[in-house]
Chains A and B, each alone.
Chain A
Amino acid sequence: SQKIEQNSEALNIQEGKTATLTCNYTNYSPAYLQWYRQDPGRGPVFLLLIRENEKEKRKERLKVTFDTTLKQSLFHITASQPADSATYLCALEGTGANNLFFGTGTRLTVIP
């Protein structure tokens, strides 16, 4: 069965630096991948979607890459701010229409 790994449970970085989060998957060839942000006690909020034929996607300070050969997506936050502190989840399409399977998430803390 498909497996999604976000190999850092927690990541601490200094304000102003670039945060890089990793999402790896196995036994799977998704046509697209999504990234969400989740704050404590809240539902996830959609950030970015990248398709298999797109190498890179940007939105303001966010950048996502998708390497289908390595079966990996990288999520970057440049010029990080304490307000970026949250858990970031990657999600892959599931078997049904618009189903999503989520990784375990990386809890990012940006230190002032």
Chain B
Amino acid sequence: GAVVSQHPSWVICKSGTSVKIECRSLDFQATTMFWYRQFPKQSLMLMATSNEGSKATYEQGVEKDKFLINHASLTLSTLTVTSAHPEDSSFYICSASSTQVRRNQPQHFGDGTRLSIL
């Protein structure tokens, strides 16, 4: 149980392109999903918290107009990297917690999206 699917797993595109990444909870409902970015040999950095039906909460230093988040249902959140540039190349990972929001819950992660901007 508690499977999170992320798509696509790998994207290569030209600079200036917008890229959409999907995060789905397959066997549970998630009111809250999280988006992380991970650079090589570094840890996961939280970018934003996505709440179903409301605006995402962005961490300090993350441009909300650059990284658009939509959480339209209890099983799907999307991250769109708008007008991507080479410095946006990274490993993007989503995670979700079940709708029974309690503190101390483990997060269930997708397998990440490797984004390479040429």
The size of the chain B interface, using a CB distance under 8 A, is 28
Choice from B34, B106, B112 contacting A49 with Cβ under 8 Å: B106
Q: Is the CB of B103 within 8 A of A49?
A: no
> Chain A contacts of B46 at CB under 8 A?
94, 99-101
Once bound together, how far apart are the Cα atoms of A44 and B95, in whole Å?
Answer: 9
- Shortest distance from the beta carbon of A52 to any chain B beta carbon, whole Å: 10
The residue in chain A whose Cβ has the minimal distance to the Cβ of B2 is A46
Known contacts A41-B112, A42-B111; A102/B44 CB under 8 A: yes
Interface check A110, CB cutoff 8 A: no
Residues of chain B within 8 A (CB-CB) of A69 are: none
A96 to B51, CA, bound (A): 12
Please state if B43 and A97 are interface contacts (CB–CB under 8 Å).
Answer: no
B112 nearest in chain A by CB position: A43
Against A, the Cβ 8 Å flags (1 = close, 0 = not) of B59-96 are: 00000000000000000000000000000000101010
Nearest chain B CB to A11 CB, angstrom units: 15
**From A33, which residue of chain B is reached at the shortest CB distance?**
B104
| Distance of A93 Cα from B34 Cα, bound (Å) | 13
A97 touches B101 (CB 8 A): yes
Given A97-B101, A98-B97, A99-B49, A104–B43 Cβ distance below 8 Å? yes
Would you call A51 and B109 a contact (CB within 8 A)?
Answer: no
What residues of chain A lie closer than 8 Å to B108, measured between beta carbons?
46
Contacts of B107 in A (CB 8 A): 46, 98, 100
Q: Which 4 residue pairs spanning A and B have beta carbons closest together?
A: A43-B109, A46-B106, A102-B43, A104-B43
A-side residues, CB < 8 A to B, are 9, 31-32, 34, 36, 41-46, 49, 51, 89, 93-94, 96-105
Binding site for A on B (CB under 8 A): 4, 6, 32, 34, 41-46, 49, 57, 91, 93, 95, 97, 101, 103-112, 114
Could you give 20 example pairs across A and B, Cβ below 8 Å? Answer: A32-B103, A34-B106, A42-B111, A43-B4, A43-B6, A45-B109, A46-B108, A51-B104, A93-B103, A93-B104, A94-B46, A96-B57, A97-B32, A97-B101, A97-B103, A98-B32, A98-B101, A98-B103, A98-B105, A100-B46
